Amino acid sequence: MSTFIEHQNWRYATKKFDATKKITNEDLSILKEAIRLSSSSYGLQPYKVLIVENPELRAKIQPAAWGQSQIVDASHLIVFANMTTMTETEIDNYLKNISDIREIPLESIAGYADFMKSKILTLSAETSNIWASKQTYLAMGNLLNAAAELKIDVTPMEGFVPAQVNEILGLDKLNLNASLIATLGYRHSEDLTQHYKKVRKSQEELFITI
């Protein structure tokens, strides 16, 4: 656990990436698996994760992300896109996956299925969209932690215009909405931010024991 804390102190939101350094396929596979194994409400994972490799697309996204250089300089660009609406089909597919992987009959989880549908399918469109977008933050957390273990830098971003990113990537047609962006790679030696002391609230200020 002490190593985990050391890695958390090492990581920061990188402001300038070294564009000459690329993440290996092996390390990228580990990061993808960390994202895949993230916790989510009901285990539904109501989102898709886009790995944008096309440099032309990344150049188009940059203005929509406030012109941030990380968009084009980082080794990899990831867009977390939540499902804007949840359908019964989406839930049924998940339930079938449970049945197949755990080798149990669908009938045995009928009660759970009814409960899940009663809670999710009755949400308003706005509430469903907000709920699904929150799940991407859990996946982002897993990515940040796994990347720190590998000494790979990540910049999590909310600083972009979702509607513009949706249009560039055609997400609207896929029932998806860009909720978070992550740029991955290796910090540039000229990024002075890496030398700043981490500033966080003290435990005394942050925690309340009741």
Q: Is residue 183 part of a domain?
A: yes
Of residues 175, 162, 179, 180, the one with CA closest to residue 87: 175
Q: How confident is the model at residue 115 (pLDDT cuts 50, 70, 90)?
A: very high
CB 186 within 8 A of CB 153: yes
Number of compact structural domains in the chain:
1
pLDDT beyond 90 at 130: yes
Q: Is residue 126 part of a domain?
A: no
Q: Is residue 159 part of a domain?
A: yes
Q: Is residue 108 part of a domain?
A: no
**Which residues are CB-neighbours of 57 under 8 A, at least 6 positions away?**
168, 169
Of residues 36, 49, 46, the one with CA closest to residue 79: 49
Q: Is residue 45 part of a domain?
A: yes
Q: How confident is the model at residue 2 (pLDDT cuts 50, 70, 90)?
A: confident
What's the pLDDT tens digit per position in 69-104?
999 999 999 999 999 999 999 999 999 999 999 999
Q: Tokens at residue 90, please?
A: 């989406």
What CATH number did the domain enclosing 58 receive? Answer: 3.40.109.10
Q: Is residue 11 part of a domain?
A: yes
Burial tier of 57 (Cβ tally within 10 Å: 0-12, 13-18, 19+): middle
Question: To the nearest whole percent, how much of the chain has pLDDT over 70?
Answer: 100
Position 1 scores a pLDDT of 62
Q: Is residue 109 part of a domain?
A: no
Position 133 scores a pLDDT of 98
**Which residues are CB-neighbours of 64 under 8 A, at least 6 positions away?**
160, 161, 164, 165, 168
Residues spanned by the domain of 160: 2-79+134-206
pLDDT (mean) for 130-154: 98
- Average of per-residue pLDDT values in the chain: 97
Q: Is residue 100 part of a domain?
A: no
Angle between helices 88-102 and 110-120 (to 10 degrees): 150
pLDDT beyond 80 at 143: yes
Position 153 scores a pLDDT of 98
